Amino acid sequence: MKSGLLLTAAVCLSIVALGQRMKKTSAEKRPNIILIYADDLGYGDVSCNGAVKVRTPNIDRLASQGVRFTNGHASSATCTPSRYSLLTGQYAWRKKGTGIAPGNAALIIDTTITTLPAMLQKAGYTTGAVGKWHLGIGNNNGPDWNGELRPGPLEIGFNYCWIMPATADRVPCVYVENHRVANLDPNDPIKVSYKAPIGDEPTGKKNPELLVMKSSQGHDNAIVNGIGRIGFMQGGTSALWKDDLIAATLTGKAQHFIEENKAKPFFLYFATHDIHVPRVPGKEFVGKSGMGVRGDAILQLDWTVGQIMHTLDSLHLTDNTILVFTSDNGPVVDDGYQDQAVELLNGHKPGGPLRGGKYSNFDAGTRVPFIVRWPGEAEPGTISSALVSQVDLLGSFAALTRQPLKDQDAPDSFDMLTAFTGKDKKGRTSVIEHAGALGIIKDNWKYIEPNNGPRLDRSVNIELGNDPAPQLYDLSKDLGEQSNVAVQHPDIVKTLSAELQAMKEAGRSRL
């Protein structure tokens, strides 16, 4: 009888203990998640990946506290499609209209699908988007800059947004907070045209003498803050951003979002403007890299990362926050402004050992800095060669927060949690890279489909990796993709091209 009671008590106690453990585990399954998404930052632009001409101490420290990936990928070699894939878990090349978005594009993400922020919202997260958007805003009539800007980030799962609608080189040069242009004076409405100049406003083309930074290609429409932009705009003077304050403004908004939401699980998508053109770093960074404004913008980006790390530390959130740092595509030096980035490069290699750059099928186009800091889960200082992609963040965080994905959801997104924590050193079986053509990486082989596009983009001086013949590189020996061995390995070409074709036809790669 006595022993029966003891047994019952022991069972009860262990049920309580189990319950507590489960409660703890499920709480632990909802760490905060912050993604710092840099723009046009190359694999070799950070010192933890080997840069020596420019130092990134904060990004290096982040890497030393987490996992640094050497084979981490953006889905595409330009901004809009990479961001589309990251937020939807679908390769962008599957969906028409996901190329580089004009500044007056309508929202390109279907508001009815499962996105990364919408999935996390369902899991109980408060979600925020701060920084560069470039995924369109408004319905098919285009954005109503003086009215309600919807659908936009709030309609695809964000609770809050403070965004630059497209890029800093596209008009209108204003921030949008939730559904409205911030600080807009209704008596000075914004007019935007992507077709023709508005009234007799000066343009970069007509009035180059008014420019503080001349264009090297395009960027000769409206002049805002002395910089020629893509697209014409007039009005909205009180709402215009100041280019040298963009990084400070966005970082402040990101910090504010973290502080406001510190008591509950949150997801922050923080897309920096750095180091995209036009590069106008804050005065504390000007001239500090010795590499011109591109190097100074890298220092400013590194400062941004340090600020976010500091905020997490001071709010005691570091241990319960996953911090991911990566870039939307590879590097470009002259991207359309005469900002002396080429002349002052000083031997720096933005793509590190990789060939190509932004816009390219070669690996510098999509293999980017990729760091995951996850206290308690990822061993600090891990360097991983696992094949990982930004398209997997949705599937992985869905697994973490136990959100079931339906078949049609995130069709290319896998649960890569064990790779993101540095435990699994293999990662994906294969990944598809997207620029002018498609390429596939599998077992360290890289195959690029035949493509008739130009081999070199002269305006940006980047090899695009197009070739009418199939290309095959052995990345285990030839990371710089110098030697096309397709002729020597017809069997591997056949297998990889068949696999790529099958994934295209299936409309999905997640089984």
Residues that bind ligand NG6 (CB under 6 A): 39-40, 78-79, 100, 134, 167, 169, 217-219, 230, 276-277, 329, 335-336
Return the one option of ligand NG6, Ca ion, none that residue 219 interacts with (CB less than 5 to 8 A, by type): ligand NG6
How do 223-224 and 227-228 pair as beta strands?
antiparallel
Query: Could you tell me the smallest distance in angstroms from the CB atom of residue 44 to Ca ion?
Result: 16
> What does 457 bind: Ca ion, ligand NG6, none (CB cut-off 5 to 8 Å by kind)?
none
Q: Which does 246 bind (CB under 5 to 8 A by kind): ligand NG6, Ca ion, none?
A: none
Asked if 333 and 461 touch (Cβ cutoff 8 Å), the reply is: yes
What residue has token string 């600080």?
183
Q: For the chain, report the end-to-end CA distance as a whole number of angstroms.
A: 55
Find which of ligand NG6, Ca ion, none residue 51 binds, CB within 5 to 8 Å per kind: none
Residue 388, binding choice from ligand NG6, Ca ion, none, Cβ under 5 to 8 Å by partner class: none
Determine the Cα–Cα distance for residues 161 and 174; give it in Å rounded to an integer.
13
Q: Which is nearer to ligand NG6, 184 or 464 (CB)?
A: 464
**Token pair belonging to 51:** 């840069």
Whole-number minimum distance, CB 328 to Ca ion, in Å? 4
Instruction: Find the shortest distance in angstroms from Cβ 117 to Ca ion.
Output: 20
Residue 100 binding partner per list Ca ion, ligand NG6, none, with a CB distance cut-off of 5 to 8 Å that depends on partner kind: ligand NG6
Helix, strand, coil shares of the chain, percent, nearest 5, are 30, 20, 50
Binding partner selected for residue 277 from ligand NG6, Ca ion, none, CB under the kind-specific 5 to 8 Å limit: ligand NG6
- Which CB atom, from 335 or from 339, has the smaller least distance to ligand NG6? 335
What is the helix (H) or strand (E) element at residue 2, kind and residue range?
helix 2-28
**Cβ proximity to ligand NG6, 336 vs 357, nearer residue:** 336
Which of residues 279 and 428 has its CB atom nearest to ligand NG6 in the complex?
A: 279
Nearest to 442 by CA among 365, 496, 501: 496
- By beta-carbon proximity to ligand NG6, the closer residue of 184 and 230 is 230
The nearest distance, CB 40 to Ca ion, in angstroms, is: 4
Residue closer to ligand NG6, measured from CB, 253 or 276: 276
Beta strand residue intervals within 184-263, DSSP E: 191-193, 223-224, 227-228, 232-234
**What is the rounded CA–CA span in Å between residue 370 and residue 428?**
15
- Residue 167 binding result from Ca ion, ligand NG6, none, given CB thresholds of 5 to 8 Å by partner type: ligand NG6
Residue among 59 and 486 whose Cβ is closer to Ca ion: 59
Burial of 12 (0-12, 13-18, 19+ CB in 10 A): exposed
Whether the Cβ atoms of residue 468 and residue 451 lie closer than 8 Å to each other: yes
Please provide residue 474's backbone torsions phi and psi, each rounded to the nearest 5 degrees: -95, 95
CB of 65 to ligand NG6, least distance (A): 28
Distance CA 353, CA 374 (A): 27
Least distance CB 267 / ligand NG6 (angstroms) = 23
Residue ranges in contact with Ca ion by CB under 5 A: 39-40, 79, 328-329
Q: What phi and psi, each to the nearest 5 degrees, are found at residue 506? A: -70, -20
Determine how β-strand 456-457 pairs with β-strand 223-224.
unpaired
CB of 77 to ligand NG6, least distance (A): 8
Q: How far is the CB of 230 from Ca ion (least distance, A)?
A: 14
Strand pairing category for 321-327 and 370-373 = antiparallel
The C-alpha atoms of residue 280 and residue 297 are separated, in whole angstroms, by: 8
Nearest to 360 by CA among 223, 465, 212: 465
Nearer Cβ to Ca ion (39/463): 39
Q: Which is nearer to Ca ion, 169 or 328 (CB)?
A: 328
Residue 289 binds what, of Ca ion, ligand NG6, none (CB under 5 to 8 Å, by partner type)?
Answer: none
Q: Measured from the CB of residue 276, what is the shortest distance to ligand NG6 in angstroms?
A: 6
